[in-house]
Structure 1
């Protein structure tokens, strides 16, 4: 609808089509509400009895609206001549009706007067004429619409007509008009489609002003088929509640023939779809009678004929029919389906048979049969990776359990085993909260009476399961895993102990306690091999691969991951396979192999979608993939990946990581207001989620980066001080070198900083290892920042980041190199000046500078020797740099001023190119400032965004785009995965920057300037 705003200067027609409930009326209302106040909107609705009732019904409604609001004179002033008028035949209040002309001429006069009225009104102010429900339009109204569409020439007139596409098919009288109109280039069409599952989630979020549960989204999507009206009806209804729209949906049912009604009721009992063989077998009708009834239902658009059966046009139509059934009738029909399936098991696909039998026997109130078939259906679902279905069937078993006769004997398991299995299904379905509830109920006896709780191994196994569930939810599962291990003798290498040790290693990876992973993983591998336990071995190897990768390097991790992958594939252990995909990708990232990491993680995401694990594993994989893409400089794709991850989960742990990824991109592109808003959301999630300390390290580094970008150095210093005071946690999270590089950058920029900061940072760095190229690059950046006026350190760091294909990090190193070259040139110039003023060379000052730089170089050299990397480290000592710098006035001391500029030229130009390509505004601005100081032209900094300008950030452009589509703050928040308050802040800033007073003015400006096409 945006393309047809009132600012348009050409008359046109827009046809809006879609099925019932798709949102046509809502769209037209929203469109009208956003128009400028000076636009006149007239609305006429066609009546359902229009084909045989009042002619010109929608236009008559428009004339009445005009008279009611502005009087008869407002109409007659726009009509040609002094009357009489053909329009008076509609409403005598207009004057004497036209007489003495034949019907055809009278019709021509009438149509001409309506045309003149619309064009005359449009000369006063822009006009939008809305005609709703054209599928019910009478023949005269259709003819008048066709005339107006072909005759309107005046500017500032828009006719918008809506019709139900499912009704306008075949011989429907509106079909011909629609076909004819759409051939006219001045007529455009908008066909509204059903919502995707993602869009259903956004609608639910807007309705409830909060993020809905992903499983609830799926449930509503399946029942509503993506119809917005039905989504809204279901949004407040509990599963199984009568649908509020029943009377609307049943409007075409009441006058069906007895046979058609019988078929419809049987189809409703079958579900949303039913195969022809099953329906034929269960119906008490002859084939010809059944076929005639089905054809009548299809003609009324109640049923749709499919390749092998029939389905309801909407799931809610089926629900409405089903809810009308009498209790006894419903039981009888379900029993009939169950018996038919029992006698004809080939009437449905084999994999569906247990679930269908369970559902029908349950509805028929046969508890024993329902219990048995629900148990079988759960097993079938598990083999098909349908974990949501497995959980649902097990919940049905638990619901039936108290009413069944000796259910344990019938199924061969006790109730606790079923509860545990249901909780395990929750791990894979992503319903962590429900899983926690189930296991906690089993653990209540142990909590109430630890000494009398029974078998410690049983309690330990339940604690393990709850620990896994809690760890997935918010990383709070470590105490449960440790408590489980404490229940077992440490000197007995049992299978359960091996499994728990593997779980402990996995949990420590999740909470970023990575320095403590190797020991439990190694012991778990030993115990698993001892007992020939391939399941535990695969999990333990996956964790050990992480330890090898982070402590030794990618080459050491590869064979470990390969063995773990082979085992999981052979065992069909899909969740562990997902963990391997993620962790292998992380290890590859740490090894600097970002492209290979992205490829590996993408395979994991594809597998998660295929295996039905996308809600439980997709978000974590998205965090890892987004990070790899960030390093490669593919920020638009990384942002898309993060947003996809947000659409899959409401779990706070994952949302923190995904929002932090988006925030990091915002900082890098200079969208600091957006980054601040995201920081506020992240802080709230971290505080509420009880996250592990290592996750708070990442929160703190994000806050530090934001403070530095805002040049709030005091705030950055406070954050960094806390990080350095708790450096043991930092180093355990593998963020040691990264945090030290941030600290060195901050301290080197603060001229008033304590001169002892170098010693403090070097002391903290001494015990850190350098297992991979990513860490090595961060270490090189740290050392370069420590000796920030030494170009050799920056050259080494730049070389490493270049090899890793990490353009943003490379760009900042090139800036550091240019600044160091400038500083070196200034020092040399000072020495040369002193040399010209004295007869002797500046030996004393040179020796002092040499000694100072050599001291720093020795510290660096000692650090490299400690890490075991001194022999092959790419860095040259600062002492060597000092030698080159101070080797006499004829060399470094005589470097002219112009040479300094030339030395800085290449790195600055390359950094400028990188910044422009990435859209990294802070980097570009830093380059521009330095280039101006040394007299180098490197071009202008990139604009903050490619959108409408006017100071809008990239995120504000995104918000404006949605605002221009008529979305509310809640809807905008849902689309962009931000809070409603954040969306409101963005809108307020947009209005201020565009210097407009309302959302409507902002939208109109966007359309007028064609910012979004």
Structure 2
């Protein structure tokens, strides 16, 4: 019998397999209780849901909870209580039961309709049910309600009609997103809160702020500078600015909600920047604020991550999807819009527009012809404008957003009374929208038509005039002004405002926007100039800004050509600056992203420059990175010496966060070398310094901590707890760097190893909604592995097809592990073995500790599966090949000094080699079972019990096999292909 690996007491086969499964859920239940509902829409909805449950075979509450990722208590309430569930939850349940979501959505909308005899909503074409739902949400709802639909479908019409019907009883704060919102963080919140502050001479806002904690007004000054009454604005270098801003908005809206009925209305949220979406999510999940928002569903320019946000949020939010109008509704629409329109004419328009309200309205206003395309129609309407009407429309088209009337007056240099007459003319022509504070063209397509008609010189003059006027308004974002100077071709002015925009975006933690602005500043920089007069900026700040912001935005590869070009072509940097730029370039060329020693070579150059200067934090950081690189290259002794020096230099420089980062890296290196006391050193470093000092270093330390826990087989709860503080900071600040992805992957891997596959899926699902990976695909590799375990082999195959070996260099070992897992569970162990051998051959020194053992184990299993029916000499050759690979590794993963996560695989490795030789037996698998049981690895234990049962059946141990299979089936919970394999063996035994 193979001796116990960790000194565990030996136990007989009977004792290991005799434990019965704990009492668990039954796969099916009978009918669920029904609530006592009177006849009506709510009862019809509940009856339909119970009927669907019956047709699906009465799956249990816990089964439905797993499939919908909500609690079984929530599922029970949907079926058994009279309260109307949110559409997001109901939609997930209907999908899990293979029901018709469209039919159930109609039932849910009917159940949501008010029956309290309240005042009827304003007359609009159709939309009666939707309008009532929106009105009820504004008056007494909770959370977020999304009104969705394609451009021009009538989202704004419904929202404005509902708002008009409740203005006397509900305080509304409204803000709109624009296409340029992605460059101006939190634009709709700024507009909403500023509009609220202007009402009643600011009394409502002032009274509400008076009830808030003292920090709220200063924190809100980031959005509303006019609140900085003392002249003291928030410090942009304050790393907690964003957290306080989120908390301040939450506090203010909570106070407003307590004082009276209050709702926040945000239009065109699909154009919002990431920070705005984060704040909406924060308010929605942590406060009682009612939020009503519109979302365009058909805009191809909306980035995938924002579509993913909507997909995620709609699971818990209320959603109303607007579709085309019916023929009768179009007739109503056009007779309201243009009294006297005949039913025949309205029906003809409906036939041509298929009920799209915007198209119908525009066609109804066309005086001549029957244009085929909306663009032609809009161009024709715009072409008929002339004189002052055209000049106003041109300004609004160039602005591409609502403008206050005084801004239009100053831009056009016209008399205010004359402007008012022109605005009325445009409004009568159905071309202008008017709010309390601004005027705008009624639709973005009208603005596009206006811009198409502008002559080049005319366009330049308007952009120049508008930029000059907006520059005088401190409330206008620098990015918007920079955009107009760019269109006007005024490069010095654009550069000045781009610098301001880059700094402002960085202060609000909008890393992608800041990086793009800095990149544009660099394009505009005078050749070979060290500094310019613009905003007291110099070239060094620009280049470092590009590198740091791209890194925070998860786009480090884009910084490499910038840094290389600067170091080659510019001689304006002093020694310390060149050293810093070299160190940044070294980090982006590190083994974390690329194979080879380019990162080490660059880092050596940076260290050499730093050593010509007094000891500094820069030298300590460069040494720290060198130690990290050396460890990745397998040069552990050198890495340890360099890291010790880095810690001394950081301490001497007085940089505590850097010292903590170095100490954490040194502790990680100790653990990777098999010294488990490194975990204690890691925890001491974190306890001594804590988190919150420097986000990038916080993430690096958390990665090292979670890595160390994985290498020492720490629990999933411990890994999750180690990662949570840094991940929460990254989520709050919208950071998606490589460290964030590694940290998220570590958490998912920990839950997966403990058998909690659905929990692992929750961790990575939001990050992997699209199957096409980005430049750092680790999360997609993990998602493919999770999909294999979930039994969705086709989804895993599609995702893996985007992860070709060689494309991602150092990710290859992880890619082929996922591919090998997929192949062995889908019946092609030969393909899996070839992939795994390619990962092990010549790449062993780059495979992270704690991973190589799994790779060897999977390779041995693939070889045994492939050679199951092969002659004995072929099986012996395969075993010798595997042993040769093991012997050629830089570190033997099964030796006593290896990390626990690697050496734990040794007993199963021995059992798999025995299977390969045709000499495996129950005792060999029992040794592996003991190991996996002691480490809470139920799926690994279940696999070994399954193999042991096969041995028992082969060897005639008929009483042992059923117990092994019974326990294996319990432990394989959430591992679909393994559960199916166990079931097949059990059926064959019967």
TM, length-normalised to structure 2: 0.53
| Structure 2 residue aligned with 1:595 | 717
Structure 2 SS opposite 1:687: coil
Query: SS state of the match for residue 467, structure 1?
Result: helix
1:504 aligns with 2:620: no
Aligned position for 1:400: 524
1:570-623 deviation digits (Å, cap 9, x = unpaired): 54x333333344443343333332234346556655543432323766544553
Q: Which of the residues 598, 615, 621 maps onto 1:479? A: 598
User: Aligned residue for 2:949?
Assistant: 818
Alignment of 1:194-593 (within 5 A): 247-255=376-384, 261-274=390-403, 278=407, 284=413, 304=433, 309=438, 314-315=443-444, 317-327=446-456, 329-341=458-470, 343-345=472-474, 348=475, 352=477, 354-363=478-487, 367-402=491-526, 408-410=532-534, 412-415=536-539, 417-445=541-569, 459-471=578-590, 474-476=593-595, 478-486=597-605, 488-489=607-608, 495-506=617-628, 518-534=640-656, 536-551=658-673, 556-557=678-679, 560=682, 563=685, 569-571=691-693, 573-590=694-711, 591-593=713-715
Q: Does the C-alpha gap of structure 1 residues 640 and 202 become closer, same or farther in structure 2, counting only changes over 3 Å?
A: farther
Match of 1:705 among 817, 821, 827: 821
CA distance, structure 2, for counterparts of residue 731 and residue 473 of structure 1:
11
2:851 to 730, 735, 740: 735
Q: CA offset at residue 165 of structure 1?
A: 3.3
| Alignment of 1:901 onto 2:958 | yes
The question of whether the paired residues in 1 share the 8 Å contact of 2:308 and 2:769 is answered with no
Cα separation, partners in 2 of 1:604 and 1:676, compared to 1, 3 Å: same
Q: Which position in structure 1 is the counterpart of 2:939?
A: 808
Paired positions, count: 641
Is residue 2:914 matched to residue 1:925? no
- Aligned 8 A contact 1:815 1:927 in 2: no
Shift of 1:390: 2.1
1:646 and 1:565, CA in 2 relative to 1: closer, same or farther beyond 3 A?
farther
Task: Identify the residue that residue 66 of structure 1 maps to in structure 2.
Answer: none
Does structure 2 retain, via aligned residues, the 8 Å contact 1:602–1:625?
no
Tell me which residue corresponds to 1:661: 782
- Residue 738 of structure 1, CA deviation: 1.9
Would you say the 8 A contact 1:627–1:661 is kept in 2?
yes
Match for residue 908 of structure 2?
Answer: 781
Larger CA Rg, structure 1 vs 2: 1
* Counterparts of 1:543 and 1:383, CA distance in 2: 29
Per the TM alignment, residue 736 of structure 1 is displaced from its structure 2 partner at its CA by 3.1
Distance 1:280 1:584, change over 3 A: farther
Q: Give CA deviations for 1:83-110 in whole Å, capped at 9, x if unaligned.
A: xxxxxxxxxxxxxxxxxxxxxxxxxxxx
Kindly provide the CA deviation profile for residues 930-949 of structure 1, in whole angstroms up to 9, marking residues without a partner as x: x356x4x5xxxxxxxxxxxx
Counterparts of 2:437 and 2:896 in 1: how far apart (Å)? 64
Q: Could you give the per-residue CA deviations for residues 322-357 of structure 1, whole angstroms, max 9, x where no partner exists?
A: 454455554554454445455553xx16xx2x4444
1:473–1:653 CA contact under 8 A, matched in 2: no
Contact 1:367 1:404 (8 Å CA) reproduced: no
Distance in 1 (alpha carbons) for counterparts of 2:441 and 2:705: 46
Alpha carbons of 1:391 and 1:710: their partners in 2 closer, same or farther (altered >3 Å)? closer
Q: Equivalents in 2 of 1:404, 1:275: separation in Å?
A: 42
| Residues 469 and 477 in structure 1, CA contact (< 8 A), matched pair in contact too | no
User: In structure 1, the residue corresponding to 2:905 is in which secondary structure?
Assistant: helix
User: How far did 1:668 drift?
Assistant: 3.6
CA deviation after TM superposition for structure 1 residue 812, in Å = 0.6
Q: 1:416 touches 1:442 (CA, 8 Å); kept in 2?
A: no
Query: What residue is the counterpart of 1:237 in the other structure?
Result: none
Local SS of the residue matching 1:614: coil
Question: Could you tell me whether the CA contact under 8 Å between 1:443 and 1:459 is conserved in 2?
Answer: yes
Deviation of residue 170 (structure 1)? 12
Deviation at 1:527, TM superposition (A): 1.8
Structure-1 residue corresponding to 2:287: none
Aligned residue for 2:850, secondary structure, equals coil
Higher helix share: 1
User: Any stretches of 5+ residues in structure 2 without a counterpart?
Assistant: 1-123, 127-149, 162-266, 275-294, 310-321, 325-352, 357-372
| Offset at residue 279 of structure 1 (A) | 5.2
Segment drifting more, 362-371 vs 496-505: 362-371
Give how far 1:392 is off.
3.1
Query: CA separation of 1:570/1:163 partners in 2, compared to 1, >3 Å: closer, same or farther?
Result: closer
In the TM superposition, residue 467 of structure 1 has moved relative to its aligned partner by 3.2
Distance across 2 between alignment mates of 1:804 and 1:202: 49
Say if 1:561 and 1:580, in contact at 8 Å, map to a contact too.
no
What are the ranges of 5 or more consecutive residues in structure 1 without an aligned counterpart? 1-134, 138-160, 173-191, 207-211, 219-225, 231-243, 447-451, 827-896, 938-1013
What is the alpha-carbon distance in structure 1 between the residues aligned to residue 595 and residue 744 of structure 2? 21
C-alpha displacement at 1:700, in angstroms? Answer: 3.8
What displacement does 1:909 show?
0.8
C-alpha deviation, 1:482, in angstroms: 2.6
Q: 2:632–2:846: 8 Å Cα contact kept in structure 1?
A: no
Note the aligned Cα RMSD (angstroms). 5.4
Call closer, same or farther: CA 1:465–1:246 in 2, change over 3 Å.
farther
Matches for 1:119-130 after TM superposition, within 5 Å: none
Shift of 1:309: 4.0
**Contact 1:911/1:927, CA 8 A, preserved across alignment:** no
**Measured at CA, do residues 415 and 732 of structure 1 come closer, stay the same or move farther in structure 2, by a change above 3 Å?**
closer
User: 1:707 Cα deviation (Å)?
Assistant: 4.6
- The verdict on how the C-alpha distance between 1:805 and 1:304 changes in structure 2, with shifts beyond 3 A counting, is farther
Q: Do the aligned partners of 2:498 and 2:518 also contact (CA within 8 Å) in 1?
A: yes
Distance 1:359 1:586, change over 3 A: same
Partner SS, residue 402 of structure 1: coil
Q: Flag the 1:328–1:711 CA change in 2: closer, same or farther, 3 A.
A: closer
Give the superposition deviation at 1:372: 3.1
Secondary structure class of the residue paired with 2:806: helix
Give, in angstroms, the shift of residue 479 of structure 1: 0.7
Cα distance in 1, alignment partners of residues 982 and 512 from structure 2: 52
Deviation at 1:480, TM superposition (A): 3.3
CA offsets per residue over residues 825-859 of structure 1, 9 Å max, x none? Answer: x4xxxxxxxxxxxxxxxxxxxxxxxxxxxxxxxxx
Counterpart of 2:532 in 1: which secondary structure?
helix
